[in-house]
Structure 1
Amino acid sequence: MKKIEVFRKDKWNMIHVEIQGKQLVVREISDQWGEDTHIFLSRPALMDWVQERFSAQRFEGSEEERLSIIEKFKEV
């Protein structure tokens, strides 16, 4: 299993991707919502989710930070 950190604000707010064979497991950890786990069977499915989850309208942060997160997902 390979673990890739995509975003980390502090020890309670982070996003990382685990590559488990054919599956890509995204874990969003937040001090407000706890942990959300998303499982994808392909990179295109992951990137579709990333484009929706980190759309310019929904993202609360700078455009530079949003683009940085999307780029890190593309490297997975």
Structure 2
Amino acid sequence: MIKKHQIYKIDKWNMMTVEVNGTRFVLREISDQWGEECHEFLSRPALMHWAEERFRKDKYSGTEEEREAILKAFKEV
């Protein structure tokens, strides 16, 4: 059974979801700038490491509250 978790959704062109299938995590990032990017992780720690790097404080352009909400959503996957 595949469980789908929404990390964020701004509109139908800007969103991020994680599908959990057993021990496999498939992250889909859809952006109006880059199209769809897909990443596959074989463990939760690998997924969290990617998320923490992708949404680092010094690189994230949104607010700190948005950043914290995104990381919280990843932790709930």
**Normalising by structure 2, what TM-score?**
0.96
Alignment partners' CA distance in 1, 2:46 and 2:40: 10
Equivalent position amino acid for 1:21 in 2: G
Q: C-alpha distance in 1, partners of 2:30/2:58? A: 21
Once the two structures are TM-superposed, the CA of residue 75 in structure 1 deviates from its matched residue by 0.4
* SS in structure 2 of the partner of residue 68 of structure 1: helix
The answer for unaligned runs of 5 or more in structure 1 is none
- Percentage identity across paired residues of the two chains: 57
Q: In the alignment, what sits opposite 1:14?
A: 15
- 1:34: which partner in 2? 35
Aligned to 1:66: 67
Moved over 6 A (4+): none
Report how many aligned residue pairs link the two structures. 76
Q: Show structure 2 runs of 5+ residues with no match.
A: none
Match of 2:56 in 1: 55
